[in-house]
Amino acid sequence: MIKLTIWAVRRADLTHEQFETYWREQHAPLIKSVTEFNRHIRRYVQCYAVPSDLPLGASGEYDGIAELSFDNVASMTTAFNEPRYLEIVRPDELKFVDLEKCLSYVSEELQVI
């Protein structure tokens, strides 16, 4: 299983709350509706920050984390080259995310516990 993890940063003209609301209520249903894209995805998770007193060195520079799982790198590449992704999903991302400030990481997941 291949996982794409994206540390998302909101557009400068949005508050953190506006970012979360749009991501949850507009973008998530849109992802679910574009079957040409989501048929390649095995799992899509949105992670929202919660207050914590743990001294883990967390940074406030990211507004959320998205995790997308794929069978392999080829299926991930195919997903992001789907014409309907490029036509519908990508323009929607630009409505709430500052893509240049986001951090992406492709990895192979090993479940330890």
- Domain spans, the chain: 2-108
d(CA 57, CA 59): 6
pLDDT at 58: 53
Report, as an integer, the average pLDDT of 67-87: 97
pTM above 0.85, yes or no: yes
Per the prediction, the chain carries an average pLDDT of 93
pLDDT at 12: 96
Which class in CATH covers the domain with range 2-108?
alpha beta
> CB-based burial of residue 89 (10 Å sphere; 0-12 exposed, 13-18 middle, 19+ buried)?
buried
